[in-house]
Amino acid sequence: MPSKPVDFSFRNYLAYALYSPLYLAGPILTFNDYISQSRYPLASITTKRTLMYGLRFLICVLTMEFCLHFLYAVAISKAQPAWEVYSPMQLSMLGYFNLHIIWLKLLIPWRFFRLWSLADGIDPPENMVRCMSDNYSALAFWRGWHRSFNRWIVRYIYIPIGGSGQGKVRAIGNFLAVFTFVALWHDINLKLLIWGWLITLFVLPEVLCTLLFPAKKWKDSPDVYRWICGVGATGNILMMMAANLVGFAIGVDGLKAMVGNIVGSLGGWAFLLGACGTLFVGAQVMFEVRESEKRKGINMKC
């Protein structure tokens, strides 16, 4: 419900900006949503739902403890190791589990502060609505990763600068501007700027392939189209992993060293081919999960 002119007061501004459950590291709530829920609590706020959410949060914390106790991927990557001493599979697993720990590291504070907000009677958007290993679309991945921030950016930055309604080229330029802002919002850091620009670069193939291979032209060959989408999804997953490793884990030099040691031998190429085949099969499973969700009327738009 849109806020009334009288709601735009200094008192409401302070209450919104300093709202304790979301102030430090919680999901991002728009001003209109905050004012509306303060006046009319949502029907989704129930004791049972909040308790179940708390149980899920506890499981996430225990999962993080389990990973940190038995997986040393972060410690190894932070120690600036000699990458050549690891096999291609070990290097890939270091990168893969690094990303999962980053996922959990961000998920836990977001879940905690959202739980606090739910207990207070305010229901903010959920971040990270899908598991990291259940994403094959770069666009959908970023909509779901920091979902509340994505909604805020779309409302206050992406649409005001033109959005996607002025052609694909303009949309890509707007996308680059948005991810540059996102990188600077995280920190004024060259590594994060490169991450933001890589994201824009890696989204381009998905946008172009969507234009070149529209689903409506493959209605008579659904199996072939699904195979084509599986190949594209495999490339998307590899690019998203690379971008996030640069931005949040090992940086550009670490990624170059890791990739160089993977593709620097015949065994490495054999492993890479096998890994791509595994990701292709995983993408087909994800496609079926999405179809199952559609049949149940579930649409998370990511």
Active site residues: 186
How far lies 54's CA from each of 59, 80, 109, 116, in Å? Answer: 9, 37, 13, 9
> What would the 3-class secondary structure string for 98-164 be?
HHHHHHHHHHHHHHHHHHHHHHCCCCCCCCCCCCHHHCCCHHHHHHHHCHHHHHHHHHHHHCCCCCC
Burial of 147 (0-12, 13-18, 19+ CB in 10 A): buried
> Counting Cβ atoms within 10 Å, is residue 237 exposed (0-12), middle (13-18) or buried (19+)?
buried
